[in-house]
Amino acid sequence: MHLAGSIRPKTLVALSNRHGRPLPESELERTGAWPPFRDFLHFMSDITQASGMVRSPHDIELIACEFMEDQAVQNILYTEVTFTAYGNHFIRGIPLGRARAWAEANLGVTFRIILDSFRGMSVEETLVVADWAIDGMDRSVVALGLGGDENRRPTGYFVGAFARAKAAGLARVPHAGEVAGPESVWGALRDLDATRIAHGVRCLEDASLVSELRGRGVALDVCPSSNVSLGVFPDLPSHALPSMMEAGLNVTVSTDDPPMFNTTLTKEYIAICDAYRFGADEVERLVLNGVRATLLQEAERVAMESQFRARLAELRVIHGV
């Protein structure tokens, strides 16, 4: 999920007024919910506008703390948050570090950061962001990401930044196979040596790609409501998630930009259980896939998996499944 896309609607309106950039009269202000998006570019325009309302370290700390409150309510213990770098004063780690410490102390939940570039940046800018990400490895940055319109620039444009991140021991988590087809996923694998891929849902259009992903075990972070909202699939029953699981792919469930798609991770699980008649086995598989796909240190990841397995076993006993 993206931090800029996690801002509560009321908070976004308050930030826009605080910075003297009031939003035009919109459904967001009237109802407190985002209206439907026409397509991916419409969404990109709106999230760029939302990001523009975040103008200080205080704003970053505010939205991060509020987001972690929303995660804690759902009993989401750990989150890897994608944060797009817009300025050096946001990258030094102080506001996000304070937010993480606050969440751990007060809510018992935590997060790490995927610092990402976007496809409209110059080569030089992507290299700067890679350096920021590397510099932040001791302050909760766990990966270099890549977002934006996949059709704008091919993955080969970003080879330098991702090679620099890999050489420093940083994971790579680009977006691919969302609005563009299998060639985008191939590029993420070949050009960027992706550790994990955000979305990847169009991989099923290429059987050899499915085989490659399955063989590598690369996790695909699937965001069903986002995909339907942006027209990647016409509706949830048409979504690729069940077929991806049947193909033996390493699939997790994520939210992308939860308030913007009027969803939460809890709602995502409820929706896919209703749409595909998933039971405890499928839910447990997806949850544990998510734990194993985290970019935590091995000991932390193993401990978290043990914690989750124990709780899942308790829930099976409680509910008789």
Q: Which tokens hold the place of 137?
A: 């490895």
Please list the rounded mean pLDDT of every run of 10 residues in the chain (321 residues).
Answer: 92 86 67 83 86 85 96 97 70 75 97 93 93 92 95 92 98 97 97 98 98 98 97 97 98 96 97 97 98 97 97 96 91
User: What are the two backbone dihedrals, phi and then psi, of residue 113, each rounded to the nearest 5 degrees?
Assistant: -120, 135
Token pair, residue 159, equals: 């080879």
**3-state SS assignment for residue 170:** coil
Label residue 170 exposed, middle or buried (CB < 10 Å: 0-12, 13-18, 19+).
buried
Distance CA 84, CA 79 (A): 16
At residue 88, the pLDDT reads 44
DSSP secondary structure letters along 84-100 = E---HHHHSSHHHHHHH
Note the pLDDT of residue 95: 79
**Confidence at residue 18, expressed as pLDDT on a 0 to 100 scale:** 86
Is the C-alpha dihedral spanning 38, 41, 47, 48 positive or negative? negative
Is 178 labeled as catalytic in the residue annotation? yes
Rounded alpha-carbon distances, angstroms, from residue 104 to 69, 79, 302 = 11, 12, 19
Marked catalytic residue, from 150, 178, 268, 284: 178
Backbone torsion region of residue 69, taken as left when φ is above 0, otherwise alpha when ψ lies between -120 and 50, otherwise beta: alpha
Q: Decide which of 3.30.420.40, 3.20.20.140, 3.20.20.450, 3.90.79.10 is the CATH code for 4-278.
A: 3.20.20.140
- Interval 36-77: pLDDT, tens: 898 898 998 888 888 888 888 889 999 999 999 999 999 999
Q: What is the pairing mode between strands 141-147 and 110-118?
A: parallel
Residue 244 CB contacts under 8 Å (≥ 6 apart), including other chains: 201, 203, 204, 220, 222, 251
Residue 302: which residues within 8 A CB-CB, separation 6 or more?
none
Which residues are CB-contacts of 166 (< 8 A; sequence separation ≥ 6)?
A: 172, 193
How far apart CA 290 and CA 229 sit, in angstroms, is 23
Q: Which alpha helices (DSSP H) does the chain contain, by range?
A: 9-18, 27-31, 40-52, 57-73, 88-91, 94-106, 123-135, 159-167, 182-190, 207-216, 224-229, 241-246, 265-276, 280-293, 298-319
Residue 122 DSSP symbol: -
CA distances from residue 51 to 9, 85, 113, 312 in whole angstroms, order as listed = 12, 10, 17, 37
Residues present in the chain in total: 321
pLDDT for 273 equals 98
- Which H or E run contains 79? strand 78-84
What is the value of pTM for the model shown? 0.93
